[in-house]
């Protein structure tokens, strides 16, 4: 990073001027790509150590015409067992997980120190609702990627006891960032085995 800044200071012609975008890209896929690249750039340049990108809130009814899904995710989540609605929500979920994987791959392709950005990151992907049809907030499928600067053991499936608050994950991640907290939200402790 320092070498990059020094090079640009010596040769300002390498600096690029950017025009302000007109707004959020109309194509949702492009919006996800732009925001992902912006976060990666901010990490690479050490402009931030924390980023949050909520693709949609739990009640979002964004449609996905590029997946041949005219209905919104929220509407489809109340499927009442209708297989055609379940299949459409699967398409949306596959798309979202694919975009997350793409982001993780990009982090893995960026060198940092003796490893990659991904080696030094903790990236959480998930939802606060386990089953939109029942509005339940348990058994949440959460993906945690990255090595956390050597504090995580990635590449595994880890299951925790039913009823474990999601905030226990957050307190565990805060510990790895040297952020001293006793509690966060409804946390009841830390998660072991991360």
What pLDDT is attached to residue 59?
73
- Asked if 138 contacts 163 with a C-beta cutoff of 8 angstroms, the reply is yes
Answer yes or no: is pLDDT of 131 > 90: no
Stretch among 15-19, 51-55, 124-128, 184-188 having the lowest mean pLDDT? 15-19
What pLDDT is attached to residue 130?
80
- Asked if 148 contacts 128 with a C-beta cutoff of 8 angstroms, the reply is no
Distance CA 39, CA 51 (A): 7
pLDDT in tens, 15-74: 666 677 788 888 999 999 999 999 999 999 999 999 999 888 767 888 999 999 999 988
Answer yes or no: is pLDDT of 120 > 80: yes
- The residues spanned by each domain of the chain are 2-46+60-117
Burial of 113 (0-12, 13-18, 19+ CB in 10 A): exposed
Give Cα separations from 41 to 65, 146, 186 (angstroms): 29, 17, 33
pLDDT, mean of residues 112-121 = 96
Alpha carbon 122 to chain centroid, angstroms: 9
Distance CA 126, CA 143 (A): 6
């Amino acid at each position: 990073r320092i070498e990059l800044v020094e090079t640009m200071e010596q040769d300002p012609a390498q600096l690029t001027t950017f025009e302000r975008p007109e707004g959020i890209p109309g194509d949702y896929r492009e919006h996800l790509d732009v925001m992902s690249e912006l976060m990666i750039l901010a990490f690479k340049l050490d402009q931030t150590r924390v980023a949050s990108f909520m693709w949609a809130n739990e009640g979002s009814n964004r449609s996905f015409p590029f997946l041949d899904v005219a209905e919104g995710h929220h509407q489809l989540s109340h499927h009442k067992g209708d297989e055609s609605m379940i299949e459409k929500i699967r398409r949306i979920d596959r798309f979202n997980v694919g975009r997350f994987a793409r982001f993780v791959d990009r982090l893995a392709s960026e060198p940092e120190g003796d490893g990659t950005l991904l080696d030094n990151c903790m990236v959480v992907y998930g939802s606060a609702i386990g089953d939109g049809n029942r509005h339940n907030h348990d058994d949440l499928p959460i993906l945690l990627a990255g090595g956390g600067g050597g504090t995580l053991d990635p590449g595994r499936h880890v299951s925790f006891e039913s009823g474990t608050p999601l905030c226990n994950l957050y307190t565990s991640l805060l510990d790895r960032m040297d952020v001293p907290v006793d509690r966060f939200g409804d946390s009841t402790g830390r998660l072991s085995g991360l």
